[in-house]
């Protein structure tokens, strides 16, 4: 467990919380300790994780709609994402599982790893509070958040938008930089996407391309052409 603490850069004040977070229900069943497993911590950790990532997305993407941020959060808290976070800290290696569960590959099962990660978040929250939980979640999720900030919610929002609009009329959307601010090393661009005379959305980013992608995402969420294009 000390090795895990080194990986996550956190030393538990109450080691029993860590032990509980790592205890799979299968071991609790085998040892006849039904009240000592990670299910309650999983319940708590899920709520903490949702709040941490919701707050982070709200801060990072001020121009995004509720729908867009909901899609992004869903990707960050999906079972696959939680499994990735767990593997990034080699969490499966430290899980305490029953013999039968272990023999069937349980410690590497996606659902087991996802539940254990949420449990670990909950344990850190109880041990040190919200700020430390934020630090840990961001340690594990930062790369995936960065992928979301530079990549689309869909595979190709600009291409998807163009395909939709060109089915309605034979001209594509156009992108314009309408503002830029900040020093050269921290430049922020604001772009809008227009279709004819209609403005479909605006977005911001650290590059013109990122701002255009953001504008296309907003346009896909708002679908203004459905109410204005008759």
Domain ranges for the chain, please list them: 2-150, 157-228
Report, at the CATH architecture level, how domain 157-228 is classified: 2-Layer Sandwich (3.30)
pLDDT at 117: 97
- Full-prediction pTM beyond 0.85? no
Higher pLDDT, 160 or 220: 220
Greatest C-alpha distance within the chain: 70
Query: For 148-157, what is the mean pLDDT?
Result: 63
Name the nearest CA neighbour of 149 among 207, 222, 230, 220: 207
Which residue among the candidates 20, 37, 42, 46 is catalytic per the annotation?
A: 46
Residue 26 clears pLDDT 60, i.e. is over it: yes
Q: Which CATH superfamily is domain 2-150 in?
A: Ribonuclease III domain (1.10.1520.10)
Residue 19 clears pLDDT 80, i.e. is over it: yes
pLDDT range class, residue 104, cuts 50, 70, 90: confident
Residue 203 CB contacts under 8 Å (≥ 6 apart), including other chains = 63, 190, 191, 192, 193, 211, 212, 213, 214, 215, 216, 217, 218
Query: For 194-219, what is the mean pLDDT?
Result: 91
**Phi, psi angles (nearest 5°) of residue 124:** -65, -40
The C-alpha atoms of residue 28 and residue 25 are separated, in whole angstroms, by 5
Which residue among the candidates 118, 192, 210, 221 is catalytic per the annotation?
A: 118
* Residue 115 annotated as catalytic: no
Question: How many alpha carbons fall within 13 Å on the CB side of residue 9?
Answer: 9
pLDDT at 31: 66
* Residue 2 annotated as catalytic: no
Least confident window among 39-48, 65-74, 81-90, 189-198: 65-74
pLDDT range class, residue 108, cuts 50, 70, 90: confident
């Amino acid at each position: 467990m000390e090795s895990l603490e080194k990986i996550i850069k956190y030393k538990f004040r109450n080691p029993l919380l860590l032990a509980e977070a790592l205890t799979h229900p299968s071991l609790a069943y085998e040892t006849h300790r039904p009240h000592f497993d990670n299910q309650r911590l999983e319940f708590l950790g899920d709520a903490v994780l949702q709040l941490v990532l919701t707050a982070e997305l709200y801060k990072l993407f001020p121009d995004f709609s509720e729908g867009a941020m909901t899609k992004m959060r869903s990707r960050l808290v999906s079972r696959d994402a939680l499994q990735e976070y767990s593997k990034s800290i080699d969490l499966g290696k430290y899980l305490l599982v029953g013999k039968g569960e272990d023999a069937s590959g349980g410690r590497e099962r996606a659902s087991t790893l996802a539940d254990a990660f949420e449990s670990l978040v909950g344990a850190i929250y109880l041990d040190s509070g919200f700020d430390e939980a934020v630090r840990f979640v961001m340690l594990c999720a930062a790369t995936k958040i960065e992928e979301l900030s530079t990549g689309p919610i869909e595979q190709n929002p600009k291409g998807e938008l163009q395909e939709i609009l060109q089915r309605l009329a034979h001209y594509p959307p156009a992108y314009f930089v309408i503002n830029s601010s900040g020093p050269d090393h921290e430049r922020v661009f604001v772009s809008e996407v227009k279709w004819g005379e209609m403005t479909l959305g605006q977005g911001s980013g650290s590059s013109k391309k990122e701002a255009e992608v953001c504008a296309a995402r907003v346009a896909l969420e708002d679908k203004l052409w459905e109410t204005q294009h008759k």
